[in-house]
Amino acid sequence: MSLLGSSEEECYVCGKELGDDAIEEDGKKFCCEDCKQQYEDEEKSDDKEEICQFC
Ligand SMILES: [Zn+2]
């Protein structure tokens, strides 16, 4: 069993085991609404950072 790539049953954000409240979004799984929100916030900030800040 590999630790890498075996996160299907863990929260994408905090790594907790997924329980009954697990949420799936964009093919990623989250233990709770807060983690999903955090992921979405990071996705948005990542999108912004993809735009070059120096040109
Ligand atoms: Zn979580």
- Domain range annotation of the chain: 9-50
**pTM beyond 0.75:** no
pLDDT in tens, 15-36: 999 988 899 999 999 999 999 9
Residue 28 has a pLDDT of 94
* pLDDT score recorded for residue 51: 66
CA–CA separation, 47 vs 53, rounded Å?
Answer: 12
How remote is the CA of residue 49 from the centroid of ligand 1, in Å? 24
Residue with more model confidence, 43 or 51: 43
Q: Give 21's contacts (C-beta < 8 A, 6+ positions apart).
A: 31, 32
Distance 3 CA to ligand 1 centre (A): 18
Torsion of CA 24, 25, 31, 32, to 10 degrees: -120
In whole angstroms, what is the distance from residue 1 CA to residue 21 CA? 26
Cα-only R_g, the chain? 14
Taking residues 25-52, report their average pLDDT.
Answer: 85
